[in-house]
Amino acid sequence: MKNGTFHIKLTEAIYNSQACYFLHFYSKLAEETIIDKLKCLQWSDEHKQYYLVQKDMSLHVLFSELRKLGCYVDYSKIKKKTRPKREQIKNPVQLPKLTPRLKYKLDQFERWMLEKRLSKNTIYTYKGVTALFLRYMQLKKAKEINALWIQRFNHDYVIVGDYSVSYQNQCINGIKKYIDFCSMDVDFELLERPQKPKKLPVVLTKEEIKTLLEVTHNIKHKTLLAILYSGGLRIGEALAMHITDVDSKRGLLFIRNAKGKKDRYTLLSIKILDLLRHYYKQYKPKKYLFEGQHGDRYSNASARAVFLRSIKRAEITKQGITLHTLRHSFATHLLESGTDIRYIQELLGHKSPNTTMIYTHVTESSLKKIKNPLDELY
C-alpha cells in the first residue's frame, strides 16, 4: 500500500483476440476489495490475473473507478498513446476539503444510517457521494440544498467526469438519504434519473450446469457451485450461510438477513446431500458452511475464481457469465418446468413480482410455444 491506498499495477495484452487491461495486485486485501467492487472484471486462467476488455471501459473511466476505491495506480507499462493525460485523471472539478462542521455532520449521518441498519457497503457509498456533494456545495458557496444544486453537481462532477449510470444513481440515492437525515424539504420531481440499459440475464442450460459441476473436481468448490444453483442464491448469501442453516430433513436452506434485511427459506436438492456430507467430513467447517484458510468466511474473489476456472474447463463460451448466472439459471429452469412465478419470487427473495417477471422473457419453453409466421408460408 502507498499513502494509505491500495497499490495496483496496470499492464495491457491481447487476450482472446481482444485488447485487455490486466490488474496486478500487491496484496490479497487489495485484490478482494477491488474485485468485489468492480463487477466488470474477469478472471484469466492463462495469465492467473483479473482483466478488463479495453472496448468495455475506457482507460479514463477505469482510472476514475479505481481512484474512487482509494487506489494508487501504476500505469507505467501502458503504451504512451493510450496513457491518460495528467488532467484527465483528476476530478472534473477540484473540490475543497470539508469544513470541521460538515465533517461532524457527515459523521452524524453515518451513525444515523447505522441505526437504520443499512448495509456497510451502502453506508460507505452514501457517505462517500454525499461528501463529494457537500464539497461541491462549498466550492460554489451554496447556502442551501435544492434540486437545482443537485442537477449542477450531477453535470459538473458526474457527467463531465464520465462516471457510469450506476454511479450517477448512487449519487442521487446518497444525497436523498442525507436530505432525509437532515429533515429537509426538497422537490425531487424535477430531478430526472438516467435509465439503466435493460439487459436480459444470461442463462445456462441444464446440460451446461451438469457439465460445469462434473468438471469441478475439488469437493469444496463443487459443493459451493451446487448450493448456489440448487437454492438460487446470491453469492453473498451462500458465503454468509452457517452450518446450521442446512435443513437436510426438510430439504431446505435457511437464508439469514438477506437483501432487504429479510430471512427466507429456499430449496436444497436431495441429490447433493451426499456431496454435502462428504464435503463436511473432509473440510470440517466450524461456523460458516464455506470457510477460508483461517476459519473466516470464504471470499467472493476466491469463489469467483473457482467459478471462472470451471466455466473454462466446461468449454462454455457464452458472454457475460458470472456467479449470479447460476441464480438466473435456477429461476429460469423452475419457470420452464411449470413452477408458479409467485413461488419463484419467494424462493429468490424478490420484493416485487416485477423483478421476477424478467425470467419470462428468457424461458425457452415460452418462446417455443410461439409459432413463427415464416413456418406458415410452407
Q: Is the per-residue pLDDT at 6 higher than 60?
A: yes
Q: Quick: pLDDT tens for 176-189.
A: 999 999 988 877 66
Mean pLDDT of the chain: 83
In contact, 185 and 139? CB cutoff 8 Å: no
Residue 3: per-residue pLDDT: 43
Give the range with max mean pLDDT: 21-35, 68-82, 102-116, 343-357. Answer: 102-116
Residue 27: per-residue pLDDT: 79
Residues with Cβ within 8 Å of 19's Cβ and at least 6 positions away in sequence, in order, are 12, 13, 53, 54, 55
Domain borders along the chain are 6-89, 100-181, 206-367
May I ask the CATH class of domain 6-89? Answer: alpha beta
Residue 66: per-residue pLDDT: 83
Say which amino acid occupies 21: Y
In contact, 253 and 241? CB cutoff 8 Å: yes
Q: Considering only residues 153 and 29, tell me which one the structure prediction assigns the higher pLDDT.
A: 153
Residue with cell string 452457517: 242
Q: Considering only residues 7 and 317, tell me which one the structure prediction assigns the higher pLDDT.
A: 317
Q: What is the mean pLDDT of residues 307-329?
A: 91
* DSSP letter for each residue of 16-63: TTEEEEEEEESSHHHHHHHHHH-TT-EEETTTTEEEEEGGGS-HHHHH
Question: Are domains 6-89 and 100-181 of this chain identical in fold?
Answer: no
Question: Taking the domain 100-181, which CATH number applies?
Answer: 1.10.150.130
Residue 215: per-residue pLDDT: 96
Cell of 140: 460554489
Q: Confidence band (pLDDT; 50, 70, 90) for 2?
A: very low
Considering the candidates 7, 152, 259, 313, report the single residue annotated as catalytic.
259
Residue 1: per-residue pLDDT: 45
Considering the candidates 135, 177, 327, 333, report the single residue annotated as catalytic.
327
Q: Considering only residues 107 and 367, tell me which one the structure prediction assigns the higher pLDDT.
A: 107
- Of all residues in the chain, the percent with pLDDT exceeding 70 is 87
In contact, 129 and 121? CB cutoff 8 Å: no
Q: Which of 215, 241, 234 is nearest to 328 (CA)?
A: 234
Considering the candidates 178, 229, 298, 359, report the single residue annotated as catalytic.
359
Considering the candidates 135, 177, 221, 234, report the single residue annotated as catalytic.
234
Phi-psi region of 49 (alpha: psi -120 to 50; beta: other; left: phi over 0): beta
Q: Considering only residues 353 and 330, tell me which one the structure prediction assigns the higher pLDDT.
A: 330
Q: Confidence band (pLDDT; 50, 70, 90) for 20?
A: confident
Q: Which of 305, 308, 289 is nearest to 297 (CA)?
A: 289
Asked if 47 is an active-site residue, the reply is no
Q: Quick: pLDDT tens for 210-264.
A: 999 999 999 999 999 999 999 999 998 999 999 999 998 888 999 987 776 788 9
* Measured distance CA(46)–CA(120) in Å, rounded: 34
Task: Specify whether domain 206-367 bears CATH 1.10.443.10.
Answer: yes
Q: Is the per-residue pLDDT at 90 higher than 50?
A: no
Asked if 309 is an active-site residue, the reply is no
Asked if 24 is an active-site residue, the reply is no
Asked if 350 is an active-site residue, the reply is yes
Residue 244: per-residue pLDDT: 93
* Measured distance CA(264)–CA(237) in Å, rounded: 11
Q: Is the per-residue pLDDT at 365 higher than 70?
A: no
Residue 25: per-residue pLDDT: 86
| Alpha helical stretches, state H, the chain | 28-37, 59-68, 100-115, 120-140, 147-153, 165-181, 206-214, 219-231, 235-239, 273-283, 300-313, 324-336, 341-348, 353-356, 364-368
